[in-house]
């Protein structure tokens, strides 16, 4: 915990910022007290981590013989550097982040490694959300928009949405503002005109008049969002533990998608996101389990969604390069072993 606090401080990010939004993450402990070292899992804070919370609450990790320690990340750079240097074993992250850092197209030059996806998760839950006085994407001309990192993750989705509306730099300016929690705060403080938010953050903005200008799944179709990412070398050396993690996560998804478990799922959500009203929790639940745009069944990675990620990176990634085939970025062997 002290080590994480130190690393956040070096980035100029206060731990209370994350604590205020998601205290369950910041104070997370291993789910079981086993003799084995817990798997170090780093995530972006948000309700989209519901499968992990369910797997913890229902004892799926323990039943599969592992424990986990969850750490919230303030930015994608912090997350990916920690994955690459071995601080973390598994990163729940955007599929595009893994492609970028495997190809040397990450935010920091020279930060590159054998990262890959081993499981799906969701379609991104991506919404372009703007200040109340901005009615359309076209109205973003001349405005400042925020991203986590301008060359990875959901920034490329933002660029594509803007491009389809006829806007390209320098029609707008981009400012790095950190992960989704930091970007949400900055948007609420009116520091930026718009940003990409991940559900359920937009549900907190809409009642205050903020506008959802575009939904990525509607505009782009298939898109692979959240995935489990690992270093290929680590996965080969820790196959049984990784398979157990995937199996536990899939069990969490299966359980939360069962309609009969809805009330219990909402209770788990409220436990992990304190001060969420019953009405708000129901709205969040409805978004996350939506059959068309919610969690991917069985956490199965979508091949068409991955193809969309690669297409956007080929168009917007810097430096420009020819990407490899999908098999270079997703290894299904551990997922297949987990669900057989």
> Does an H or E element contain 92, and which?
strand 90-94
pLDDT in tens, 243-271: 999 999 999 999 999 999 999 999 999 99
Q: Alpha-carbon distance 40 to 25, whole Å? A: 13
Task: Please say if the pLDDT value at position 108 is more than 90.
Answer: no
Q: Specify whether the CB–CB gap between 161 and 124 falls below 8 A.
A: no
pLDDT band at 13 (very low <50, low <70, confident <90, very high): very low
Q: Alpha-carbon distance 252 to 276, whole Å? A: 21
Q: What's the DSSP call for residue 208?
A: G
How high is the pLDDT of residue 56? 98
For the entire predicted model, the pTM comes to: 0.89
pLDDT in tens, 67-90: 999 999 999 999 999 999 999 999
Report domain extents, the chain: 2-123+224-339, 126-220
Nearest to 157 by CA among 294, 318, 319, 312: 312
Do you find a cis peptide bond into 247, omega within 30 degrees of 0? no
Nearest to 67 by CA among 35, 39, 44: 39
Task: Please say if the pLDDT value at position 131 is more than 90.
Answer: yes
Fold match between 2-123+224-339 and 126-220?
yes
For domain 2-123+224-339, the question of CATH label 3.40.50.970 is answered with no
CATH level 3 topology of 126-220: D-Maltodextrin-Binding Protein; domain 2 (3.40.190)
Q: Specify whether the CB–CB gap between 223 and 233 falls below 8 A.
A: no
Q: Alpha-carbon distance 91 to 123, whole Å? A: 16
Q: Alpha-carbon distance 7 to 2, whole Å? A: 9
Radius of gyration, CA atoms only, the chain: 19
């Amino acid at each position: 915990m002290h080590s994480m606090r130190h690393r956040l401080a070096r980035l100029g990010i206060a731990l209370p910022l994350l604590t205020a939004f998601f205290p369950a993450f910041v104070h997370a402990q291993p789910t079981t007290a086993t003799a084995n070292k817990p798997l170090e899992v780093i995530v972006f804070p948000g309700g989209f981590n519901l499968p992990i919370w369910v797997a913890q609450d229902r004892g799926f990790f323990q039943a599969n013989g592992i424990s986990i320690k969850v750490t919230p990340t303030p930015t994608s750079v912090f997350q990916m550097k920690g994955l690459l240097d071995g601080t973390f074993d598994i990163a729940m992250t955007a599929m595009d982040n893994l492609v970028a850092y495997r190809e040397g197209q990450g935010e920091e030059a020279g930060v590159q490694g054998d990262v890959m996806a081993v499981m799906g998760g969701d379609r991104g839950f991506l919404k372009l959300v703007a200040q109340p006085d901005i009615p359309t994407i076209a109205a973003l001309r001349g405005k400042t928009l925020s991203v986590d990192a301008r060359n990875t993750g959901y920034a490329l989705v933002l660029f594509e949405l803007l491009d389809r509306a006829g806007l390209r730099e320098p029609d707008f300016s981009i400012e790095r503002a950190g992960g989704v929690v930091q970007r949400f705060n900055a948007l609420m403080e009116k520091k930026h005109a718009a940003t990409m938010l991940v559900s359920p953050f937009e549900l907190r903005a809409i009642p205050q008049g903020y506008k959802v200008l575009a939904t990525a799944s509607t505009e782009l179709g298939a898109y692979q969002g959240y995935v489990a990412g690992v270093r290929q070398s680590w996965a080969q050396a820790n196959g049984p533990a990784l398979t157990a993690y995937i199996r536990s996560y899939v069990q969490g998804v299966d359980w939360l998608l069962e309609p009969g478990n809805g009330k219990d799922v909402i209770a788990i959500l409220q436990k992990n996101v304190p001060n969420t009203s019953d009405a708000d929790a129901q709205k969040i639940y409805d978004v996350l389990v939506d059959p068309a745009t919610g969690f991917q069944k069985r956490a199965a990675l979508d091949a068409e969604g991955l193809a969309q990620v690669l297409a956007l990176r080929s168009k917007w990634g810097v430096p420009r390069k020819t990407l490899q085939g999908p098999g270079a970025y997703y290894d299904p062997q551990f997922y297949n072993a987990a669900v057989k």
